[in-house]
Amino acid sequence: MRTAPIIGIEVAAFALILVESYAFFTYIVPVGPLPHDPLRYTADAALKVVLTFGLGLLWLVVILALTRVYVRSRLRSQTPSVSS
């Protein structure tokens, strides 16, 4: 079934959303006010935004990497080798 590898990428995208939402609630949401923050609640809010952005970026990088691996393997199987 030729759609199986793409369904695999879909499942990876789905699993990453679940894992990242767990990471968001467990590690990012509880981040409290940072010690010695002169602006009170600003530095930790900025840190939360950066960490959440990082999770989004991680999702993109993983999905792009999986897709690149799939495209390369398919193109390699289509290109006739020099010896053939």
Number of residues that make up the chain: 84
**For 65, which DSSP code?**
H
Q: Which of 32, 38, 75, 84 binds another protein (CB under 8 A)?
A: 75
Distance in angstroms (rounded) separating the CA atoms of residues 55 and 65: 15
Kindly identify the residues of this chain, within the stretch 41-70, that bind another protein according to CB under 8 A.
Answer: 60, 63-64, 67, 70
Residue 6 neighbours by CB distance under 10 Å: 12
22 lies in the binding site for another protein (CB under 8 A): yes
Residues that bind another protein (CB under 8 A): 2-3, 6-7, 9-11, 13-14, 17-18, 21-22, 25, 29, 60, 63-64, 67, 70-71, 74-75, 78-79
